Copies of this chain bind each other. A is one copy, B any other.
Amino acid sequence: VTSVRDEPGLRSETIRRANLSSIVRELHANGPMSRSGLVRRTGLTRSAIRGLIGELVAGGLVAEGPAALLGTPGRPSPVVRPQPDGAVVLALDIEVDSLAAAFIGLGGHLLDHVRIDRPRGHSTLTAIVTDLVELVDTLNARSERATRALVGIGVAVAGVVRRADGLVSRAPNLGWTDQPLGDRLARALGDDVQIYVGNEADLGALAEARRGAAVGADHMLFITGEVGVGGGLIVDGRPFTGVAGYGGEVGHVAVNPDGLECSCGAIGCWETEVGAMRILRRAGRTAVRGRADIDALLADAAAGEPTALAALAETGRWVGIGLAGLVNVLNPRLVVFGGLFERIHPYIGPIVDAELDRRTLPAPRRLVRVVAGVLGAEAPLLGAAELAFEPVLADPALWLNRSDVDIVETAKIAVRRVVA
C-alpha cells in the first residue's frame, strides 16, 4: 500500500522528485535524447521538462547541447545528455579466476577499468579485499576526475549474497561461508558512500537487461556460470532475487537423482551436469588451468574434434532438461546465456532448442527465445554499477541538494585505505 501524504507542500515535492527520477532513468538507460523525446517518453509537459532539466543541469547530472537536426519539421529540440562525471560509481567484481574494478559514469559510461587474473582456488576475504583496494588505487592514480562525484559502490561476487548487508553466505569456489564482504569493504574503502553487494548472476542479468541482449525484454532469465551455475531473473525491468537476495540459484535444482554429488552436498544438481568440470570430464580432459581449459576445448570443437563436440552436445541436452523446467516455472520472454554458456552457445543452441521443444509446455515454449548474451565477462561488473546507480536514479533530488563540501568528502573515499 503506497500513499502520498495529503499535504500540498509535500505532495508537489514528492511529484517533483518522481519526475526528476523519470528523466534521469530515461537518460541513463537510453542515452542522449531531445527534449521532445523526453516529453514523449515521460508524459510530462514541455514546460515541466524545461524546469526539471534546468535543475538537473544546475546539479551537474545532465547537460544540454545544441538542437538536434532530425529531419523532422518544426523547431529543433535541444538535446539532453547524461553527464558521466555528474554521478560516478565504483564497480567491483570478484570472480573465481579474476578481480576487476571500474569507474562508471551516469549513462553507463565506462570511465576507467582494470581486471587482473587470480589463480583459481580458495582465498581469504582479507586477501581479496586487499587486492581490490589496490585495484582502486591503480584507477585513482590514473584519473583524479572519476572520483569527484562518487555516489555508490557496487560489488558483484560469485556467491550467495544477503542483499541487506552484503554478507556472502556461501561461495564454494572461493571457499567462503558467511563472510561479511559488505562490512569489510566499508571498513577498507570508507563508509561515506553506500556499498551494494549482489550475486554475479543477478547482476549479469541486470546488465544484459539494461545494456545488453535483453534491452526491452520485460521478463528475462539469465543463465551463467563457469564451475558453478547461477541464474538471474528480471521482471518488469527489475531484478527478482527472492525475499533476501538468495534467489536465482538455478545451479542447485535437482535434475538427476542418480547423478554426481554437488559442492552443495546434494545429489544431481543441474551444475553437476552442465558446469565446466563436467564438460571437461565428458571430453576426457582434466581441468587444471581454469578458464583456459574451456578455451582449449572450444578451439578443438571449432576444429571439428569429435570428443569435444560430443561433450558439448551431451551438455546441451542437460542444459535443455534443466532449462525446460525453469521456463515452465518462470514463463520468461527471453533466456540469455552468459559466461560459460555464452561461449558454448554456438555449439549447444540448436540442441537446447530441441530439448525445450520436447520438454516445455507449448504455451510458454512459443513465447520464449534463447540467445547468447553480448556483454561477455564484464556483465557482472556492469551490473554492479547499475546496482550502485539505483539510489541516484530513484531520487536524483537527493544528489542535487548535496553541498560542495559533501562531494569533496565523498571524494576521499577512494584514497582512504584501512584494510583490516
A interface, CB within 8 angstroms of B = 1-7, 11-12, 15, 18-19, 22, 25-26, 41-45, 47-48, 160, 162, 169-170, 218-219, 231, 235, 240-250, 252-258, 264-267, 269, 321-322, 324-326, 328-333, 358-364, 367
Contact = CB atoms under 8 A, between A and B. Distances in A.
Nearest to A265: B358
10 contacts: A1-B26, A3-B18, A6-B48, A170-B362, A219-B242, A243-B331, A249-B329, A254-B321, A266-B358, A326-B329
This protein's copies in its complex: 2
A324 B270 CA distance: 12
A328 B253 contact: yes
A22 B5 contact: no
B3 A19 contact: yes
B246 A45 contact: no
Contact of A1 (B25, B47, B324): B25
Complex A-B, nearest 8 residue pairs according to Cβ-Cβ distance, in ascending order: A242-B331, A253-B325, A6-B48, A247-B331, A169-B363, A219-B243, A249-B328, A266-B359
Given A1-B22, A324-B266, A6 B45 contact: yes
A325 to B, nearest CB: 3
B41 A231 contact: no
A36 to B, nearest CB: 15
Given A6-B15, A219-B243, 15 more contacts: A7-B45, A169-B361, A219-B242, A242-B332, A247-B364, A252-B325, A252-B361, A253-B325, A253-B328, A254-B321, A255-B255, A255-B257, A256-B257, A264-B361, A266-B359
Main SS class of interface, A = mixed
Contacts of A243: 218-219, 331-333, 367
Contacts of A331: 241-249
A235 B239 CA distance: 12
A267 B321 CA distance: 10
Contacts of A5: 43-45
Nearest to A49: B6
Contacts of A256: 257
A338 to B, nearest CB: 17
Nearest to A267: B359
A26 B255 CA distance: 43
Contacts of A269: 325
Contacts of A25: 1
Nearest to A21: B1
A337 to B, nearest CB: 17
A107 B325 CA distance: 37
Contacts of A360: 252
